[in-house]
Amino acid sequence: MLFGGGPGGYKILSKLGSGSAGSVYKAQKKGKIVALKIPRILGPTDLKRLEREAAALSNISNPNVAKIEEADLEGPVPFIATKFIDGQNLAEDVKDNGIYEGRYLALLADKLAFALHDIHAANIIHRDIKPENVIIADWGPVLVDFGIAMNPEETHLTRTGLVMGTPGYIAPELLEGAREGAESDWWSLCAVLAFAALGRSPFAGEGTGNILEREEKGETDFSGLSPSLAPLFSSSLDPDPSRRLPVKDLIGAIWQNV
């Protein structure tokens, strides 16, 4: 899409990102700046699901969730406009300002968990929680880019060549063919918190295959993290959902280390 005129009367200002789910642009209409998502839709089923999720998202009122400003999924170019959050994403923030420790890590965990709780209460699965989808605004972290354009055939990151998700932040059960759900979102959130505390993924390695294998085996590297927190983080990222430390217990432990 060329910069300038866009769907819904929006003026495209710049491109923020793109992927198999669609593209996101910084756009403006009547003086309001938004993040304009133009999803990739493969059929009527995708469109119906998008309509339901867009309606549900519009009812979420949480300062740590990017709110939908406008959506048109029936026009010639379907789009979803969300509030534009001015700030660095978590990956950029950690690179420029260092890791999160003590009270800063605890507050980050609290606010992201608060956001994810409200998202799930609206019967929405985020599907793509990663450092790049957490924007650090003046008032705290904000979850953005809900993957709502994701079609059912593109929800898994597999070894067969179909990629949807980010190695190190997609729950290991999804690699085995499980469908995404609230549990997989919570795992991803714990992986993001681990990144904030370490400055890297605890599954970091050379190549996508190595990272995925470490996820599936639960092989984490928390060297450099507090000895009291490292085993708890590792437990929260267990590949077996039935053995995982509940997120509330991990956050409680983080607060105890403040």
List average pLDDT for each run of 10 residues in the chain, which is 258 residues long.
76 85 89 90 76 82 93 88 94 98 98 96 88 95 72 39 71 86 94 98 88 94 95 97 96 96
The predicted pLDDT at position 3 comes to 57
The predicted pLDDT at position 160 comes to 43
The predicted pLDDT at position 41 comes to 77
**What is the residue-wise DSSP string for 62-113?**
-TTB--EEEEESSSSS-EEEEE---SEEHHHHHHHH----HHHHHHHHHHHH
Q: Top-level CATH class of 88-256?
A: mainly alpha
User: Do 65 and 56 form a contact (C-beta atoms < 8 A)?
Assistant: no
| CA separation for the pair 136, 201 (Å, rounded) | 19
Q: Top-level CATH class of 4-83?
A: alpha beta
- Residue 186, classed as helix, strand or coil, is helix
| CA separation for the pair 218, 80 (Å, rounded) | 37
| 140-143 vs 32-39, strand pairing mode | unpaired
Q: Which amino acids are annotated catalytic?
A: 128
pTM of the model: 0.88
Give long-range contacts, CB 8 A cutoff, 24+ apart: 93-101: 93/136, 94/131, 94/195, 94/196, 94/199, 95/199, 98/199, 99/196, 99/197, 99/198, 99/199, 100/196, 100/197, 101/197
The predicted pLDDT at position 50 comes to 75
Tokens of 68: 């939908």
The predicted pLDDT at position 54 comes to 83
| CA separation for the pair 40, 251 (Å, rounded) | 36
Helices (H), the chain: 44-57, 90-97, 102-121, 172-175, 182-198, 208-217, 230-236, 247-256
**Domain chopping of the chain, boundaries:** 4-83, 88-256
The predicted pLDDT at position 4 comes to 65
